[in-house]
């Protein structure tokens, strides 16, 4: 055989089809299949596989309807519902906003989990009380003209400009006596105890800010009480603010008026144990046009924002809106849960230590529920003050 008859050895690289056959023999993914079986570096040897580090913008692309069971503590049924809490309550993520479209079906619209400390995302002091002021600041000069934005739920009433009985706080707390300021014409009026969203005027977010401030000046039996200086809740992202606050139609606040003596605010302890004989309109229904649940939010000074869902319907057939008495009890359970979860958490830097909850600090038994404010589409925030004791 001559050398000229020999076929020269081919040195060209194998084609992909030939590589695929070899890969099958070796049980190794081919280049065309590498990316689908978890070997992206085979398809492109220069690529590097790195873990994703962006954990701040999880979005639910296609919301799906879902149903849930309510907490057993809020009902007489054995149903159980676990809110979106983390194992460490001190690092609880911001809960989702919900658009309620059916009675027992909810569609998740968006989710935003914020893990950095709250101080990296400061919320503007839109209510004018200071970030963590130990005492709420009130205008030094009372207004002499009736405000044009006065709610139709305020009506003429008569309140003395100064308290008739001295005020004292629980002995284990060292809060100063609040400054007594004469009440203006605007704050010497009352909010009706319960409001029906179906028959009442809807409010804007700016209206809610106004009523949030005025609720601090509602009368108490012992005089000017000391309120917890919460910031009014506002979503973190611009899109959520626009969707759930600015474009939302918000209900007027619900105030809890008591008779004999007349004052605004009911002890959380009384709410929890059903002692509501003094509560005005206690059997009246609320949340008539709301979804199956709403979020109760707390912006307690020195702690990360906190929220928990409560049901808005009873468990009768057909379901009916809950009463004012049941609403008080549900809100009281939320505040009690907050105190239990946060009592072992450290306050944020720069916070007045007197606002610490649990232990020798502020206890659940020290608090009074004054009003409940519709601060976003699915969220309500309570105004809380300290109990006053008659000397």
**Residue at 41 is within a domain:** no
Q: How many CB atoms lie within 10 A of CB 245?
A: 20
Nearest CA among 205, 91, 186, 92 for reference residue 145: 186
**Residue at 114 is within a domain:** no
Q: What is the C-alpha to C-alpha distance for residues 233 and 229, in angstroms, rounded to an integer? A: 12
Q: Which residues pair with 386 in a beta bridge?
A: 367
**Residue at 243 is within a domain:** yes
Regions in the chain scoring below 50 on pLDDT: 35-37, 39-63, 65-68, 76-87, 92-169, 176-199, 390-391
**Residue at 180 is within a domain:** no
Q: What is the C-alpha to C-alpha distance for residues 99 and 217, in angstroms, rounded to an integer? A: 33
Nearest CA among 207, 229, 55 for reference residue 138: 229
pLDDT tens digits for range 144-199: 444 333 333 343 333 333 343 334 445 556 554 443 333 433 443 444 444 433 33
Residues 6+ apart with CB under 8 A from 77: 70, 315
**What's the pLDDT score for residue 360?**
87
**What's the pLDDT score for residue 11?**
52
Q: Name the CA radius of gyration of the chain, rounded.
A: 29
Phi first, then psi, for residue 375 (nearest 5°) are -95, -15
Q: What is the C-alpha to C-alpha distance for residues 312 and 296, in angstroms, rounded to an integer? A: 11
**What's the pLDDT score for residue 361?**
92
pLDDT tens digits for range 55-100: 444 444 444 544 445 555 555 444 434 444 444 555 544 444 443 3
Spacing of C-alpha 285 from chain mean position: 22
Count how many domains the chain has: 1
- Tell me: cis bond preceding 261? Omega within 30 of 0 counts: yes
DSSP three-state, residue 240: helix
Spell out the alpha helix ranges (H) of the chain: 16-26, 40-43, 205-214, 238-241, 268-272, 324-342
**Residue at 338 is within a domain:** yes
Structural domain of 238:
205-386
**Residue at 351 is within a domain:** yes
Q: What is the C-alpha to C-alpha distance for residues 150 and 188, in angstroms, rounded to an integer? A: 12
**Residue at 193 is within a domain:** no
Q: What is the C-alpha to C-alpha distance for residues 216 and 224, in angstroms, rounded to an integer? A: 9
**What's the pLDDT score for residue 61?**
47
**Residue at 191 is within a domain:** no
């Amino acid at each position: 055989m001559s050398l000229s008859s020999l076929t020269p050895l081919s040195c060209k690289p194998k084609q992909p089809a030939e590589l695929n056959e070899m890969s099958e023999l070796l049980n190794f993914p081919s280049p065309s299949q590498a990316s689908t079986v978890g070997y992206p570096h085979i398809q492109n040897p220069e690529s590097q596989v790195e873990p994703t580090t962006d954990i701040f913008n999880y979005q639910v692309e296609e919301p799906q309807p879902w149903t849930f069971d309510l907490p057993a503590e809020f009902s007489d049924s054995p149903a159980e519902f676990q809110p979106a809490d983390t194992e460490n309550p001190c690092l609880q993520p911001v809960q989702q906003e919900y658009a309620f479209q059916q009675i027992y079906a909810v569609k998740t619209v968006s989710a935003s989990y914020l893990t950095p400390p709250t101080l990296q995302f400061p919320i503007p002091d839109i209510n004018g009380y200071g970030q963590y002021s130990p005492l709420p600041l009130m205008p030094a000069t009372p207004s002499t003209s009736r405000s044009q934005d006065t709610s139709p739920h305020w009506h003429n009433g008569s309140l003395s400009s100064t308290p008739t009985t001295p005020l004292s706080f629980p002995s284990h707390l060292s809060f100063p006596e609040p400054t007594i300021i004469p009440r203006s014409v605007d704050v010497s009026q009352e909010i009706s105890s319960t409001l029906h969203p179906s028959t009442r005027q809807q409010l804007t977010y700016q209206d809610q800010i106004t009523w949030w401030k005025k609720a601090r000046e509602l009368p108490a039996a012992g005089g000017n009480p000391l309120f917890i200086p919460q910031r009014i809740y506002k979503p973190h992202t611009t899109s959520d603010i626009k969707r759930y606050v600015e474009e939302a139609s918000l209900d007027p606040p619900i105030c809890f008026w008591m008779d004999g003596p007349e004052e605004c605010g009911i002890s959380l302890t009384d709410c929890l144990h059903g002692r509501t004989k003094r509560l005005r309109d206690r059997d009246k229904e609320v949340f008539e046009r709301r979804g199956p649940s709403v979020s109760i939010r707390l912006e307690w000074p020195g702690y990360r924002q906190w929220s928990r869902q409560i049901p808005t319907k009873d468990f009768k057939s057909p379901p009916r809106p809950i009463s004012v008495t049941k609403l008080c009890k549900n809100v009281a359970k939320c505040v009690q849960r907050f105190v239990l979860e946060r009592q072992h958490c450290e306050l944020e830097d720069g916070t007045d230590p007197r606002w610490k909850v649990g232990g020798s600090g502020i206890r659940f038994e020290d608090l009074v529920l004054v009003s409940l404010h519709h601060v976003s589409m699915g969220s309500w925030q309570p105004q809380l003050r300290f109990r006053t004791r008659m000397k």
